[in-house]
Amino acid sequence: MKIVELCQKNSVVSQYLAEVRDKIIQKDSMRFRKNMERIAMCAAMEISKTLNYKEIDVATPLGIAKCNVIEDQIVVASILRAGLTLHNGLLNVFDKAESAFIAAYRKYGNNNKFLIQAEYIGRPPIEGKVLVLADCMVATGSSLLIAYNKLIDEGEPSHTHIVAPIVSKAALNYLSKQLPHKRVTIWVGSIDEELTNKAYIIPGLGDAGDLAYGTKI
């Protein structure tokens, strides 16, 4: 499994990430959603450099131009609901991509222990395609792994790119043992070191779904 931390080198991603973390700027939910969308677009541009291309002839008003276009068929998948903030950004770049959605959430029991519930999935066939799986925050890696396994249960993608603005170190350690090493790349904005006793990321940014779409019951 390859890990690419986008903020290791200075770019505008660092600015967007600083703003989604800022507890004052977070009060503007539209700006929060827009910054997440921008981070996704930056990640998508990096992913595009890894894809397969083919040369085609394009007729211009004055002649024929040789152009390279993406050959891979892409499926953009988002984990509801926070992942929706990234979905449009990915589609802005991969405008010919198909879409998939999966609902996964924590169900808490006693002593802050929780199980991951996955109750809905809608996806096209994924066999042989490039899967781009988006989630805003990856704390333990459990929900992302469940989502990945459900998405591929009827066909293996040629490669999977995971886009996550903030990921914990613990989640990366867990996923590195669970995901196929040669066919998965994780594109993260930043890797955070700590988790609380309820498995929330520190410093993180809070609940991305609530910040983007309001609190839920």
How far is the C-alpha of 112 from the C-alpha of 131, rounded, in Å?
33
- Tens digits of per-residue pLDDT, 46-59? 999 999 999 999 99
What are the residue boundaries of the structural domains of the chain, listed by start?
2-51+71-213
| Confidence (pTM) | 0.91
Place of tokens 């609901």: 81
**Tens digit of each residue's pLDDT (9 = 90 or more) over 139-165:** 999 889 989 998 998 899 999 999 999
Which candidate, 199, 181, 93, places its Cα nearest to that of 137? 199
What fold does the segment set 2-51+71-213 form as a domain?
Rossmann fold (3.40.50)
What percent of the chain clears pLDDT 90, i.e. is strictly above it?
76
Nearest to 99 by CA among 121, 69, 71: 121
